[in-house]
Amino acid sequence: MPTLYIVGTPIGNLEDVTLRALRVLKEVQLIAAEDTRKAGVLLRHYDISAPLTSFFEANERGKVREILDALAEGDVALISNAGMPSISDPGYPLVREAIECGYPVVAVPGPSAHTAALVISGLPTDQFMFLGFPPRKHPEQLFEGLVGITATLIFYEAPHRLQQTLVAMLKTLGDRDVALCRELTKMYEEVWRGRISDALSWIAENPPRGEFTLVVAGASGESERWREARVCEALATRMAEGVSRSQAAREIAAESGWRRREVYDLPRS
């Protein structure tokens, strides 16, 4: 029976493609690519001449039927611009429909920016949570739900939104360790490591270029959520020191496993 192959491709350096990926791309009857122009660079480099069709975010639902029709005639490979398809890239609707239709779906593993960034970040790798791109509007709402998570956190971010995202992280998660990884495996690969507050100073002097992968330390200290009495005591202490209720709530949320709004809304003594 024809097979849908989900093929990982290089995230930058063309030498990172696997031998299996090259064989599959040469043998399939159709390659569905997020950007046919970018796919063409890889395919020409390795002398692969399989037919291409576009499959990107704006057309993916409309193209699913067309690709399934092609799959009925022979094997199809899905590739994204970089890394594994469906990881913050198009692919999920096609995979679901192929499974529903009874076609085998096979992964051909390859590079992925978030795992590459994690292992060079210098932050714990035993537990991690990948969250893709933060929301463009009000990213702090996402971060507030992550305050008590002890696993290392990984995000993708565009250069023009990097500052906004780091500011929101600082306010909600506190001044944690972070690794800013950009242009991984490419000529201008760069990794900056330090605290979030220092990262803001660094990008002020070094305007961000290229897509970033952010690796952020998880919550430190006790893994269990603080009891309410402890939170109330910490809130009263910081406010007595002159810290505003809003700022004190942010700081305590970063340590306690509570959300900032929960701390802020505690009864006033």
Those residues whose C-beta lies under 8 Å from the C-beta of residue 113, and which sit 6 or more positions away, are: 11, 82, 83, 156, 181, 184, 211, 213
> In 224-233, which positions are buried (b, 16+ CB within 10 angstroms) versus exposed (e)?
eebeeeebbe
pLDDT of residue 28: 98
User: CB neighbours (10 Å) of residue 42?
Assistant: 20
> For each of the chain's 269 residues, which pLDDT tens digit applies?
999 999 999 999 999 999 999 999 999 999 999 999 999 999 999 999 999 999 998 998 889 999 999 999 999 999 999 999 999 999 999 999 999 999 999 999 999 999 999 999 999 999 999 999 999 999 999 998 998 899 999 999 999 999 999 999 998 898 899 999 999 999 999 999 999 999 999 999 999 999 999 999 998 754 457 888 889 999 999 999 999 999 998 888 877 778 888 899 998 86
CATH 3.30.950.10 domain extents, the chain: 114-216
Q: How far is CA 56 from CA 29, 73, 213, in A?
A: 19, 22, 21
pLDDT of residue 269: 66
For residue 199, the one-letter residue type is A
**Enclosing H/E stretch for 167:** helix 162-173
Report the SS3 class of residue 75: coil
Pair 188, 12: CB distance under 8 Å: no
Task: Give the strand pairing for 30-33 and 76-79.
Answer: parallel
Report the SS3 class of residue 186: coil
> Which 3-state string (H, E, C) describes 83-150?
ECCCCCCCCHHHHHHHHHCCCCEEEECCCCHHHHHHHHHCCCCCCEEECCCCCCCCCHHHHHCCCCCC
CATH of the domain spanning 4-111, picked from 3.40.1010.10, 3.20.20.70, 3.30.470.20, 3.40.720.10: 3.40.1010.10
114-216 is a CATH 3.40.390.30 domain? no
Task: Give the strand pairing for 177-182 and 152-157.
Answer: unpaired
Distance in angstroms (rounded) separating the CA atoms of residues 198 and 204: 10
pLDDT of residue 83: 95
CATH 3.40.1010.10 domain extents, the chain: 4-111
Residue reference for tokens 């023009």: 160
Pair 152, 219: CB distance under 8 Å: no
Pair 63, 53: CB distance under 8 Å: yes
